[in-house]
């Protein structure tokens, strides 16, 4: 456990930042510290470990060398990472960076059966939240055509390093009917033809990819993403083109090229068209918007509590990568929910396009 | 004129850098200084002004407001900017940054009739050098299918600000049969339909674009580039994908989107395919090269003097944006020329691709 004075030291060293949600006070790690990763939540006598980064393989060639035992091929769902946990009598959901997310926390009991925390108060449910009604990214996984969904991929325990084993996770998932990411089976790293077929099928269905989890004590992991997912990301983030670092796009184009090589894609022309369209269709849309006013992203999220909706608006100013200003459109009760409609203002994209369309001169 | 002590002061302030070529000593401006732009060459009693930046218009909408008088629509040729001038008894060619270019200097008398400098020793010929046998960029303008070519677009005088008038330039171009950029005529900024047709035709022919030069004392200028040129640039620089700043690509994609909007392009699908292909075909090629060894750019340049060939190799290590290591393949006499074959090593591109193809794990 971590004492209050240690937390104070981490804050003083700027390794951690104090936060609060409702009455609950905590600190979150901005960097790795004392073996805990970025995003770890520290509170009096409590540690919610951050979710560790998973390395990416760009080609399947490395898998036999990287994996020493068969791995479970779990689907990688396109959404945002959330850790659901209990502190005192309350349940919270934390973002990857370790902030309590007002939206996910508000809707937590819609996502999973909260009785899992009565039986196992120390449990941390790690999963992906996705759907068209989430507050962070436009676009959604094909797995959730409406509303929101949660897909469990890992269980942790408060104060403990590492994940519960595949068997423990299966048992708890079954007992509490927890929604989990699709499991595409156990794969021998030396026989990848099945794996290749799984990836090919996911790609055809526009799904994001796979997390490979070695079934061994060291539990080695890697992720592999489909070409379709790269294109979906480009199309989605091109909506905020100049409000995103340029390497967001160039890295995905490169990964797509490696994917096509890996899969020995034959329809090169079709892929070229899809890649070009991902950029040009979104940009055409943005040019039209800029001509009429502003480039914004429009979001609609439903809450049980009005206060959480306002907290979300407030927090969107702080989350890294979402620093664009947020504008409330409206917040009203509809069919038993508080429905929050808001816009993110993509200021750089708007500014550049308006100036370009106005015919102003630019020195580059 | 600028005195030797003033040059010394500029060097001490890091505004200028001392250089030499053969026995000739000079300094070049790294930043604007005393009203002279970056790239200006200073030598004892001599100033070769830098070539000023020309602002870009992204849409034609701004032209009527920016231009107060008819403008000359001169073709913008895709190559590198060179200033040809005389100092003492020698003729030199300088790059945009103000370095004497050993290649262009060596071939100067093949590009233009040097007698223009006997009659007008103070003249500076500003133009674009392009062709498949130039040392800086792979790819070439459709105007020069083989060898190298020079296209004059401006005349300046040593020690003087500004350009010679359109009439003076025409007279000298005629007298000395100087090769000039294609002139697409005089355009009224309030009647742009002709201009639009010129741009459309240049785009169809894969040509770079137009520089608009107001025919007035203030000589206001702007440039407008075709969508085809954006795609050509992407395809060409994708050969050194990770050795180029990512915004090189993202800015061109955005400019292409604005061009398509401006030209009310109907064949969106064709443009999407071309854009995607520009990225994916080059990257496929690079992946193949990385698998077999290294990603390099291959260059072949012909020189009159062996010494100049060696000087070029030497200088390629210094020019900004070309810091990738250069490797001599061979240098030998062929049909009256010293033929230099060299490769530029694209280290970041090679490094990333080899590691990705080897299957190594990456945390991004």
What dotted CATH number matches A230-292? 1.20.58.2250
| Contact between chains at B273 and A269 (C-beta distance less than 8 A) | yes
Can you tell me the distance from the alpha carbon of B103 to that of B106, in angstroms, rounded to the nearest whole number? Answer: 5
Best residue of B250, B262, B353, B358 to probe chain A, by most A CBs closer than 10 Å: B250
- Sign of the CA dihedral with A191 first, then A196, A197, and A202 last: positive
Helix intervals (H) in chain B: 4-12, 63-66, 102-106, 108-111, 115-119, 166-175, 193-204, 227-237, 246-262, 268-292, 306-316, 347-357
Say which of A60, A62, A359 has its CB closest to residue B59: A359
A56, A254, A280: which is closest to B243 by C-alpha?
A254
pLDDT at A83: 98
What would the pLDDT profile of A40-68 be if each residue is shown by its tens digit? 999 988 999 999 999 999 999 889 999 99
- Contact of A300 with A341, CB cutoff 8 Å: yes
pLDDT at B318: 57
pLDDT at B44: 83
CB pairs under 8 A between A and B: 177
- In B, which residues are within 8 Å of A275 by CB distance? 272, 275-276, 279-280
CATH 3.10.450.740 positions along chain B are 1-48
What would the pLDDT profile of B246-290 be if each residue is shown by its tens digit? 999 999 999 999 999 999 999 999 999 999 999 999 999 999 999
CATH 3.30.70.2160 positions along chain A are 296-357
Question: What is the Rg, in whole angstroms, of the alpha carbon atoms belonging to chain A?
Answer: 22
pTM equals: 0.95
Can you tell me the distance from the alpha carbon of A47 to that of A51, in angstroms, rounded to the nearest whole number? Answer: 12
What would the pLDDT profile of A156-165 be if each residue is shown by its tens digit? 999 999 999 9
A121, A13, A137, A22: which is closest to A77 by C-alpha?
A137
pLDDT at A182: 97
Report, at the CATH architecture level, how domain B230-282 is classified. Answer: Up-down Bundle (1.20)
DSSP string of B320-334, one letter each residue: TT--S-EEEEEEEEE
- Domain B50-77+184-225: give its CATH superfamily: DNA ligase/mRNA capping enzyme (3.30.470.30)
Summarize the confidence of residues A282-286 as an average pLDDT: 97
- In degrees rounded to 5, what are phi and psi of residue B22? 60, -130
Can you tell me the distance from the alpha carbon of A127 to that of A74, in angstroms, rounded to the nearest whole number? Answer: 12
Summarize the confidence of residues A216-220 as an average pLDDT: 93
Looking at the predicted structure, is the pLDDT value of residue B320 above 80? no
Report, at the CATH architecture level, how domain A1-48 is classified. Answer: Roll (3.10)
- Contact of A84 with A93, CB cutoff 8 Å: yes
3-state SS string for B65-100:
HHCCCCEEEEEECCCEEEEEEEECCEEEEECCCCCE
- Contact of B364 with B324, CB cutoff 8 Å: no
Best residue of A218, A361, A364 to probe chain B, by most B CBs closer than 10 Å: A361
CATH 3.30.470.30 positions along chain B are 50-77+184-225
Percent of chain B at pLDDT exceeding 90: 88
Assign residue A127 a region (left: φ > 0; alpha: ψ between -120 and 50; beta: otherwise). Answer: beta
Angstroms from A38 CA to nearest CA on chain B: 14
- In B, which residues are within 8 Å of A213 by CB distance? none
pLDDT at A147: 95
Can you tell me the distance from the alpha carbon of B210 to that of B225, in angstroms, rounded to the nearest whole number? Answer: 6
CA distances (Å), origin A322, targets A100, A244, A249, A315, B10: 15, 10, 17, 10, 44
Looking at the predicted structure, is the pLDDT value of residue A138 above 90? no
pLDDT at B319: 55
What would the pLDDT profile of A223-259 be if each residue is shown by its tens digit? 999 999 999 999 999 999 999 999 999 999 999 999 9
What would the pLDDT profile of A310-349 be if each residue is shown by its tens digit? 999 988 875 544 545 788 999 999 999 999 999 998 999 9
pLDDT at A39: 98
Angstroms from A8 CA to nearest CA on chain B: 30
Give the end-to-end CA distance of chain B in Å, rounded to a whole number. Answer: 54
Average pLDDT, chain B: 94
For domain A296-357, the CATH class is alpha beta
Which residues lie below 8 Å from residue B83, measured CB to CB, with a gap of 6+? B48, B51, B93, B94, B124, B125, B126, B156
- In degrees rounded to 5, what are phi and psi of residue B334? -145, 120
pLDDT at B140: 73
Summarize the confidence of residues A145-156 as an average pLDDT: 97
Q: CB count, 10 Å around CB of A360?
A: 17
What would the pLDDT profile of B179-201 be if each residue is shown by its tens digit? 999 999 999 999 899 999 999 99
pLDDT at B55: 97
- In A, which residues are within 8 Å of B261 by CB distance? 284, 287
What would the pLDDT profile of B202-248 be if each residue is shown by its tens digit? 999 999 999 999 999 999 999 999 999 999 999 999 999 999 999 99
CATH 1.20.58.2250 positions along chain A are 230-292
pLDDT at B317: 73
Average pLDDT, chain A: 94
Tokens 């592999």 correspond to: A224
| Contact between chains at A363 and B56 (C-beta distance less than 8 A) | yes
Tokens 């200003």 correspond to: A325
pLDDT at A2: 84
Can you tell me the distance from the alpha carbon of B324 to that of B344, in angstroms, rounded to the nearest whole number? Answer: 6
- Contact of B266 with B247, CB cutoff 8 Å: no
- In B, which residues are within 8 Å of A363 by CB distance? 53, 55-56
The residue of chain B nearest to residue A59, with distances taken between CA atoms, is B359
Q: Which residue has the higher pLDDT, B345 or B83?
A: B83
Looking at the predicted structure, is the pLDDT value of residue B321 above 70? no
What would the pLDDT profile of B122-139 be if each residue is shown by its tens digit? 999 999 999 999 998 777
- Structure tokens, A117: 């925390």
Can you tell me the distance from the alpha carbon of A96 to that of B112, in angstroms, rounded to the nearest whole number? Answer: 63
Best residue of A222, A272, A286 to probe chain B, by most B CBs closer than 10 Å: A272
């Amino acid at each position: 456990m971590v004492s209050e004075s240690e937390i104070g030291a981490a804050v003083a060293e700027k390794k951690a930042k104090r936060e609060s949600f409702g009455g609950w006070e905590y600190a979150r790690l901005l960097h790795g510290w004392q073996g805990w990763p970025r995003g770890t939540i520290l509170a009096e006598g409590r540690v919610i470990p951050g979710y560790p980064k998973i390395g990416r393989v760009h080609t399947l060639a490395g898998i036999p060398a990287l994996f020493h035992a068969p791995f479970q091929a779990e689907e990688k769902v396109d959404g945002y990472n959330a850790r659901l946990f209990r502190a005192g009598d309350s349940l919270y959901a934390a973002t990857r960076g370790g902030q309590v997310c007002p939206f996910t926390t508000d809707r937590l009991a819609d996502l999973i059966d909260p009785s899992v925390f009565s039986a196992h108060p120390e449990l941390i449910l790690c999963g992906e939240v996705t759907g068209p009604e989430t507050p962070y990214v436009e676009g959604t996984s094909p797995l959730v055509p409406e509303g929101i969904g949660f897909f469990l991929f890992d269980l942790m325990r408060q104060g403990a390093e590492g994940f519960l084993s595949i068997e423990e996770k299966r048992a708890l998932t079954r007992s509490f009917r927890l929604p989990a990411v699709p499991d595409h089976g156990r794969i021998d790293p030396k026989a990848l033809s099945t794996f290749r077929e799984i990836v090919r099928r996911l790609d055809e269905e526009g799904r994001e990819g796979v997390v490979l989890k070695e079934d061994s004590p060291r539990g080695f992991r890697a992720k592999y993403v489909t070409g379709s997912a790269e294109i979906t990301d480009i199309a989605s983030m091109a909506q905020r083109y100049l409000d995103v670092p340029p390497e967001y796009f160039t890295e995905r184009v490169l990964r797509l090229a490696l994917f096509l090589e890996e899969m020995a894609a034959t329809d090169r022309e079709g892929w070229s068209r899809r890649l070009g369209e991902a950029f040009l269709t979104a940009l055409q849309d943005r040019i039209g918007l800029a001509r009429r006013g502003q480039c914004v992203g429009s979001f609609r999220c439903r809450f049980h509590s009005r206060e959480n909706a306002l907290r979300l608006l407030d927090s969107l100013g702080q989350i890294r990568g979402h620093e664009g200003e947020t504008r409330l459109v409206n917040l009203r009760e509809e069919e038993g929910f508080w429905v929050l409609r808001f816009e993110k203002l993509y200021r750089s994209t708007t500014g550049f396009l308006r100036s370009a369309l106005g015919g102003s001169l630019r020195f580059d």
